[in-house]
Amino acid sequence: MNGVNGGLRQSMAWLHTWAGLLVGWLLLAIFATGTSAYFQDEITRWMQPEITGQRQITLASERAVDWLQKNQPGADSWSITLPGRRAIASTLYWKPAGETRRSLRDHTITLDGNGQPVVSRATIGGFFLYRMHFDLHYMPVLWARWIVGFCAMFMLVAIVSGVITHKKIFADFFTLRFGKGQRSWLDAHNLSAVLALPFHAMITFTGLVTLQSLYMPWGMTVAYPTVAAYSADAYGSEAPPVRSGNAAPVAPIAEMIRQARVAWGGAEPGYIDIAFPGDANGIVRMFRGGGDGMAARAKTLQFDAATGHMHPVPAAKGAASETESVMVGLHAGRYAPYLLRWLYFLCSLAGTVMVATGLILWTAKRRVQLPDPERPHVGFRLVERLNIASVAGLPLAFACHFLANRLLPLRMEGRPDWEVHAFFIAWGGSLLLACLLSSRRGWLTLLAASTAAFAAIPVVDALTTDRWLVPSLLQGDWVFAGFDLTMIALAGALGFATWKVYKRPTIVVGRKRAATREVSA
């Protein structure tokens, strides 16, 4: 607590240290899964190698409506998720007449790039990693979002206090010394923090903005009697349709898409919802695709399903609503072309490294201050084991999740769930190993296992599909080739880390009596 009683910089250093440590392990998972989410669509495509073809919005929409008219003519609603700019498949959902709840898993089908039904392996795809970074898993969504918001607020505190603590923030940008123990970890932490500092501040603040109505609902509850009234005012709404009982086929969907493109300045639809298809009172709601603008809140148009007549274009959003939408769009990055998307990815990866090195630095700094480094107290051992499981075990969880996609039986019951279970089983096993082994052996074992697992992904890919690295390179299929190359690069980085830990000698720590200790990382 000495830092609290010192000057401003000492107080901020104390706040920075503890704000980062208390949520660091979960924050690392949030950053890592959020980093992967910038390539969510590409991960999904890799996890569904059976789906081929090209992105064709109008053809996909027409084929989707044709299939639904033939196979689900009496449904209460049809929903069509169209391929985004980086996807090729369409997903169809429907709610049978009279069913009060929609079971998406039971009432869904996938169409390939040519609009033809395709039987692909059941998978959640990149959607799991995307949702994991703000909804976590195995717990109520509301609880998870409060926990993630708590972590994000601590992250914001750590960023601000870290900037105040730094005496040489610009000098640290150019400093990275290897082989210097604690000094090297501090350099790595400083470099990864300063390198993408504007991004870290933006992504943390906008992350809080995405759920601002959950964290700070008081303005909404004071100004509006109900949440529905607020939503109607903020986002616009029309009265829901009522089934008339008079049959009327759905008008050509291509003409509605053409009108939507004109209204949106050339932007494409990303989602179509049809209420009471085949009824004279049916309504088509068309949502603009998320990758056609920085604003995240999709613009919506409505049409009469039977005639194709477009309803009046909703009024423009107010400044506050538009600002919130743009900030959410900045956080998600769906608008970003590939070069900017890679910049998002690399900056977010730097944030992951920043959190990881901060956790390691905490133990490296305090180990030399222990009365007996060979027999640390329980609190220190707990932090050290959690560090090992988080920093070295989390990559293993990612790799096992991807391996499960290729190795689980294609027709296995509950297959998507077991892909997710594989992630948490590997992560939980990492914690168990970290608790059973010494710190040095724990680091070596889990880093080596993560290296092997990532290196195995391209090999298993070659043994289980025909879209592995070499054919993908020859065909110019950069989604599949890029995924395998990324796995090889991650295996190389983890292999280098394993080698560095292995080659690092034990260090003699001077106290009243010298004690040789094992290095934790």
| 190-211 pLDDT tens trace | 777 778 888 999 999 999 988 8
pLDDT tens per residue across span 436-447: 999 889 999 999
Mean pLDDT of the chain: 85
Do 89 and 36 belong to one domain?
no
- pLDDT of 173 > 70? The answer is no
333 in a structural domain: no
Do 287 and 196 belong to one domain?
no
Average pLDDT over residues 311-337: 83
335 in a structural domain: no
Confidence (pLDDT) at 519: 42
DSSP notation for 197-235:
HHHHHHHHHHHHHHTHHHH--HHHHHH-SSHHHHHHHHH
How does residue 510 score in pLDDT terms, banded at 50, 70 and 90?
very low
Do 384 and 512 belong to one domain?
yes
Residue, of 460 and 170, whose pLDDT is higher: 460
Confidence (pLDDT) at 325: 85
- pLDDT of 457 > 70? The answer is yes
Average pLDDT over residues 378-382: 85
For residue 383, count other CB atoms closer than 10 A to its CB.
Answer: 18
CA 308, CA 255: separation in Å to the nearest integer?
7
Residue, of 250 and 517, whose pLDDT is higher: 250
| Separation in Å, CA 410 to CA 47, 122, 124, 464 | 12, 7, 13, 11
- pLDDT of 347 > 90? The answer is yes
Task: Output phi, psi for 215, to 5 deg.
Answer: -80, -30
Do 427 and 303 belong to one domain?
no
Strands 300-304, 507-509: pairing kind: unpaired
321 in a structural domain: no
Pick from 225-239, 412-426, 497-511 the range whose average pLDDT is largest. Answer: 412-426
294 in a structural domain: yes
Do 280 and 245 belong to one domain?
yes
Q: Determine the structural domain holding residue 507 and report its residue range.
A: 375-521
CA 464, CA 484: separation in Å to the nearest integer?
14
Confidence (pLDDT) at 44: 93
Q: Which of 367, 402, 435 is the last residue in one of the domains?
A: 367
Residues 6+ apart with CB under 8 A from 22: 154
230 in a structural domain: no
Q: Which of 313, 331, 351 is the last residue in one of the domains?
A: 313
517 in a structural domain: yes
Residues 6+ apart with CB under 8 A from 456: 399, 403
Confidence (pLDDT) at 238: 66
**242 and 281 Cβ atoms separated by less than 8 Å:** yes
Do 421 and 513 belong to one domain?
yes
Out of 245-249, 365-369, 491-495, pick the least confident: 365-369
- Strand pairing partners for 285? 273, 302
- pLDDT of 138 > 60? The answer is yes
Do 105 and 220 belong to one domain?
no
**Is residue 2 exposed (0-12), middle (13-18) or buried (19+ Cβ within 10 Å)?**
exposed
Residue, of 495 and 159, whose pLDDT is higher: 495
Do 27 and 129 belong to one domain?
yes
Average pLDDT over residues 443-456: 96
Confidence (pLDDT) at 108: 85
Out of 6-10, 53-57, 93-97, 298-302, pick the least confident: 6-10
| Separation in Å, CA 22 to CA 85, 214, 225, 350 | 39, 23, 38, 20
Residue, of 407 and 337, whose pLDDT is higher: 407
The percentage of residues in the chain with a pLDDT greater than 70, rounded to a whole number, is 87
Confidence (pLDDT) at 114: 80
Out of 38-42, 115-119, 347-351, 433-437, pick the least confident: 115-119
Confidence (pLDDT) at 237: 65
Confidence (pLDDT) at 516: 41
How does residue 103 score in pLDDT terms, banded at 50, 70 and 90?
low
**21 and 384 Cβ atoms separated by less than 8 Å:** no
Residues 6+ apart with CB under 8 A from 199: 344, 347, 348, 350, 351
Do 153 and 188 belong to one domain?
yes
Do 283 and 298 belong to one domain?
yes
pLDDT tens per residue across span 247-266: 899 999 999 999 999 998 88
Confidence (pLDDT) at 515: 40
320 in a structural domain: no
Average pLDDT over residues 457-461: 97
Average pLDDT over residues 327-354: 90
Residues 6+ apart with CB under 8 A from 364: 181, 182, 185, 520, 521
For residue 469, count other CB atoms closer than 10 A to its CB.
Answer: 20
> Based on the structure, what is the number of domains in the chain?
3
Out of 131-140, 211-220, 430-439, pick the least confident: 211-220
H-helix or E-strand spanning residue 59: helix 57-71
How does residue 276 score in pLDDT terms, banded at 50, 70 and 90?
very high
How does residue 184 score in pLDDT terms, banded at 50, 70 and 90?
low
How does residue 172 score in pLDDT terms, banded at 50, 70 and 90?
low
Residue, of 10 and 29, whose pLDDT is higher: 29
How does residue 101 score in pLDDT terms, banded at 50, 70 and 90?
low
Do 390 and 406 belong to one domain?
yes
346 in a structural domain: yes
Do 1 and 114 belong to one domain?
no
Rg (CA), the chain: 26
- Strand pairing partners for 434? none
The percentage of residues in the chain with a pLDDT greater than 90, rounded to a whole number, is 47
Residue, of 390 and 7, whose pLDDT is higher: 390
